């Protein structure tokens, strides 16, 4: 891994310091940076062209908070306003408590390296409790079923609003778009590391990252223009400010960490915390967190996997606090929440009438991904990536609205694209060997008279 992540020269080496990126790896990282730029350039070009058309892409008309984004924006505004409702004494007491926790964390981090994982857990719990204190002051229904994306959206807007900056949907759109684009860039990088650690081949990793970077363009080729309808393309690109880009980025980052060779307590807490926060963003991600926990327990042992569990549970108070203000408030709204949300009757329709995952898309994605499963390095990587795809697909196969909202399955896209890239590499290698074999047979001299 030193060739991949960089190496640390021995002390006293001429020119001292850390060589973060070896010279021979710079071209790979330059290519990765170019892919990140492409992932950002496509939605920005659509935004600049609005309300015009870009060749080969769906039409985009600017609207700051379309559909569910209005509920997320409302929840973010309520969270910002809730700090004022707490009152100055409570906010001051909370700030003092957080500073005390931070002071303790710094001292413990330096004095007890073996306890650093639990230091991160304590910091995450302190953050969660502070968020819960603000949530208690939100009394009206905002329309947001979950709170993770409104929370992350509100965090950069909170100091802006505290300094007197005006806040309206157009201003909030700027903050939200920046976060969505950063999330998509983070997923491109995470896909690179997932591919690298799952296959140990940088060419496969870069191919997988390229697939995700170009997905706003490739998706139309995979499923046809129908796959772009109902806002699917705009959500994926980050222009509609839904929670899918954030959810995908958090899960992909956690998977990249878990696939690493050195799974110390801090890394495990970090991965668990990312999946815990991803669950706050989308509750179904809790199933993926449980899957990863089970695989880690089998790999490193239940005791060593405890930091992962603790990191994930650190954000559970936010889920509990928001539940009566989120999904529980939607159960009596048949116009929003289906009366029978889960049923086996939906399975066939969700895979035959899906706007994106039509039989054509499944035929394009699945065979190559299955071929890629054979190229993965080790059973853990296969179980992790394959498990994420299967668990996510199985859960939403039974959900009433999956056919109309294929974005629910987007969180498994990084795993699918890594398998896809590995399959494409395996197919290319097989074809090359076949062609080389035919060439050698043609060049082999024929023995006459033997």
Q: What is the pLDDT of residue 8?
A: 35
Backbone φ, ψ for residue 342 (5° rounding)? -125, 130
pLDDT over 70, % of the chain: 91
Per-residue pLDDT for 9 more than 50?
A: no
Q: How many domains does the chain have?
A: 1
Per-residue confidence (pLDDT) for residue 441, from 0 to 100: 61
Q: Is the pLDDT of residue 406 over 70?
A: yes
Residue 249 lies in a domain: yes
User: How far is C-alpha 220 from the chain's CA centre?
Assistant: 21
pLDDT on residue 17: 38
Backbone region of residue 30 per phi and psi (left: phi > 0; alpha: psi in -120 to 50; beta: other values): alpha
The pLDDT score that the predictor gives to residue 223 is 87
- What is the crossing angle of helices 169-199 and 148-162, to 10°? 130
CA angle 54–59–63, rounded 5-degree value = 120
Residue 444 forms part of a structural domain: no
Q: In this structure, is residue 450 part of a structural domain?
A: no
* Burial status of residue 333 (CB atoms within 10 A of its CB: 0-12, 13-18, 19 or more): exposed
Residue with tokens 């995700």: 212
Rounded to 10°, the helix 26-49/169-199 angle is 150
Confidence of residue 174 (pLDDT cuts 50, 70, 90): very high
Letter string b/e over residues 408-424, b meaning 16 or more CB atoms within 10 A of that residue's CB = bbbbbbbbbbbbbbbbb
The two three-digit tokens of residue 125, written as one number: 């719990």
What residues does 19 pair with on adjacent strands? Answer: 7
Give the tens place of pLDDT for each residue, 53-74.
788 888 899 999 999 999 999 9
Examine the pLDDT at 3 and tell me if it is beyond 50: no
CA 178 – CA 80 distance, rounded (Å): 19
Angle between helices 68-86 and 148-162 in degrees, nearest 10: 50
Residue pair 29/209 in contact (Cβ under 8 Å)? The answer is no
- Domain of residue 246: give its range: 2-7+18-431
The mean pLDDT of the chain is 89
Residue 449, domain member (yes or no): no
Residues 5 and 19: beta-carbon distance below 8 Å: no
Report the pLDDT averaged over residues 69-94: 94
Asked if the structure places residue 230 within a domain, the reply is: yes
Task: Evaluate if residue 164 carries a pLDDT over 70.
Answer: yes
Partners of 7 in the β-ladder:
19
Q: Is the pTM of this model over 0.75?
A: yes
20 vs 415 pLDDT, higher one: 415
Report d(CA 148, CA 250) in Å as an integer. 11
How far, in Å, CA of 403 to CA of 394, rounded?
13
Alpha helix locations (H) across 163-284?
A: 169-199, 202-213, 215-223, 232-237, 244-258, 265-281
CB atoms closer than 10 angstroms to residue 123 = 19
Residue 144 domain flag: yes
CA distances to 127, 199, 231, 347, 374 from 432, rounded to whole Å, are 54, 19, 41, 40, 18
Classify residue 245: in a domain, yes or no: yes
- Count the alpha carbons within 13 Å of 43 in the hemisphere toward its beta carbon: 26
Least confidently predicted of 188-192, 235-239, 328-332, 345-349: 328-332
> Between vectors from CA 105 to CA 102 and to CA 107, what angle results, nearest 5°?
115
Q: What is the mean pLDDT of residues 192-211?
A: 94
- Is residue 442 assigned to a domain? no
Query: Residue 439 has what pLDDT?
Result: 61
């Amino acid at each position: 891994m030193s060739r991949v992540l960089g190496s640390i020269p021995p002390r006293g080496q001429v020119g001292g310091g850390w060589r973060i990126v070896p010279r021979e790896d710079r071209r790979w990282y330059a290519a990765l940076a170019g892919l990140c730029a492409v992932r950002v350039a496509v939605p920005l070009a659509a935004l600049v062209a609005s309300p015009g058309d870009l060749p080969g892409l769906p039409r985009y008309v600017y609207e700051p908070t379309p559909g569910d984004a209005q509920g997320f924006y409302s929840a973010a505004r309520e969270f910002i306003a809730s700090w004022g409702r707490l009152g100055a004494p409570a906010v001051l007491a909370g700030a003092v408590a957080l500073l005390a926790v931070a002071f303790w964390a710094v001292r413990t981090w330096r004095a007890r390296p073996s306890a650093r994982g639990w230091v991160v857990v304590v910091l995450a719990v302190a953050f969660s409790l502070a968020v819960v204190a603000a949530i208690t002051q939100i009394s009206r229904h905002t329309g947001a079923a979950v709170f993770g994306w409104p929370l992350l959206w509100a965090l950069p807007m909170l100091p802006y609003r505290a300094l007197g900056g005006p806040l309206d949907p157009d201003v909030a759109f700027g903050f939200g778009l920046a976060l969505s684009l950063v999330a998509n860039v983070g997923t491109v990088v995470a896909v690179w590391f997932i591919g690298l650690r799952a296959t140990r081949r940088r060419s496969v990793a870069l191919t997988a990252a390229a697939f995700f970077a170009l997905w706003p363009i490739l998706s139309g080729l995979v499923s046809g223009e129908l796959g772009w309808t109902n806002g699917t393309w705009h959500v994926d690109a980050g222009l509609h400010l839904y929670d899918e880009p954030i959810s995908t980025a958090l899960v992909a980052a956690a998977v990249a960490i878990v696939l690493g060779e050195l799974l110390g307590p801090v890394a495990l807490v970090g991965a668990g915390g990312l999946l815990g926060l991803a669950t706050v963003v989308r509750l179904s991600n809790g199933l993926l967190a449980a899957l990863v926990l089970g695989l880690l327990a089998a790999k490193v042992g239940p005791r060593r996997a405890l930091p992962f569990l603790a990191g994930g549970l650190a954000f559970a108070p936010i889920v509990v606090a928001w539940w009566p203000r989120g999904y529980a408030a939607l159960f009596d709204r048949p116009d929003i929440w289906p009366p029978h949300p889960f049923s086996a009757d939906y399975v066939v329709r969700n895979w035959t009438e899906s706007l994106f995952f039509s039989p054509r898309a499944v035929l394009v994605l699945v065979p190559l991904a299955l071929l890629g499963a054979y190229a993965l390095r080790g059973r853990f990587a296969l179980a992790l990536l394959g498990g994420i795809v299967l668990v996510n697909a199985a859960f939403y196969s039974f959900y009433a609205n999956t056919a109309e909202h294929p974005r629910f399955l987007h969180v498994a896209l990084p795993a699918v694209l890594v398998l896809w890239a590995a399959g494409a590499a395996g197919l290319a290698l097989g074809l090359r060997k076949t062609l080389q074999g035919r060439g050698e047979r043609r060049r082999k001299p024929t023995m006459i008279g033997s």
